[in-house]
């Protein structure tokens, strides 16, 4: 199965994270991440929620639940044994070397990241490339339209517990306007 290593930056925005993971749940691809990515996700979510004034105990509960749910839903997503590969990897930003190392160790086909400049094609292994979440989801929609539409509808069905309920069309509009403009626009067409 096609495997995608998900960088922290595509997991932080909750809506795109939910869609990416639900698309994986529909067996469109196999998601991968590392403990370093999950740690960075946790730190970033803690910082962002603290800036919004969310109580620390609520944040603790949320990040613990998020991490546990991700690992329970995708028990084979957590890549181990990547650490020895880090030193052999050259990237513009040395702090991103762990992403390529874990992607290699997990046999990922693609790294899904918003930081395209930090993963230049000439620095990646020949068998690997990087894409933004927008491009990755757009390709997924092109290749597996019914599965991706089912995924977005499933995400819509779960809304309303901690925020306003949203339809699949509203989710597509939010994605188009905020995080994944190409995918959101194509999704709106597919839903109409």
Q: What pLDDT, in 10s, does the model give residues 60-88?
A: 888 889 999 999 999 999 999 999 988 88
Q: Is the pLDDT of residue 57 over 90?
A: no
| Reported confidence tier of residue 92, pLDDT bands at 50, 70, 90 | confident
Long-range contacts of 68-73 (CB under 8 A, 24+ apart): 70/21, 70/33, 70/38, 71/38, 73/21, 73/25
What DSSP character marks residue 88? G
**Cβ-based burial of 54 (10 A; exposed 0-12, middle 13-18, buried ≥19):** middle
Nearest to 9 by CA among 48, 37, 50, 51: 37
| All residues at 6 or more sequence positions from 32 whose CB lies less than 8 Å from its CB, including other chains | 3, 4, 5, 6, 77, 79, 102, 103, 106, 108
The full set of domains in the chain, from first to last, is: 3-191 (3.40.50.1010)
**Is the Cβ–Cβ distance between 111 and 128 less than 8 Å?**
yes
Percent of the chain beyond pLDDT 70?
100
Q: What pLDDT, in 10s, does the model give residues 140-185?
A: 999 999 999 999 999 999 988 877 899 999 999 999 999 999 999 9
pTM of the model: 0.94
Determine how β-strand 78-79 pairs with β-strand 110-112: unpaired
Residue 176 has a pLDDT of 97
């Amino acid at each position: 199965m096609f495997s995608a290593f998900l960088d922290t930056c595509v997991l932080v925005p909750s809506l795109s994270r939910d869609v990416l993971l639900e698309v994986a749940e529909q067996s469109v691809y196999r998601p991968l991440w590392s403990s370093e990515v999950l740690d960075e996700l946790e730190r970033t979510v803690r910082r962002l929620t603290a800036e919004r004034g969310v109580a620390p105990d609520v944040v603790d509960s949320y990040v613990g639940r998020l991490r546990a749910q991700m690992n329970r839903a995708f028990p084979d997503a957590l890549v181990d044994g990547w650490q020895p590969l880090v030193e052999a990897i050259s990237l513009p930003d040395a702090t991103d070397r762990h992403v390529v190392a874990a992607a290699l160790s997990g046999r990922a086909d693609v790294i899904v990241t918003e930081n395209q400049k930090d993963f230049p094609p000439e620095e990646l292994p020949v068998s690997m490339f990087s894409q933004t979440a927008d491009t990755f989801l757009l390709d997924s929609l092109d290749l597996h339209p019914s599965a991706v539409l089912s995924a977005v509808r499933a995400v819509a069905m779960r809304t309303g517990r901690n925020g306003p309920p949203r339809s699949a069309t509203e989710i597509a509009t939010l994605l188009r306007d905020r995080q994944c403009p190409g995918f959101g626009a194509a999704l709106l067409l597919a839903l109409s």
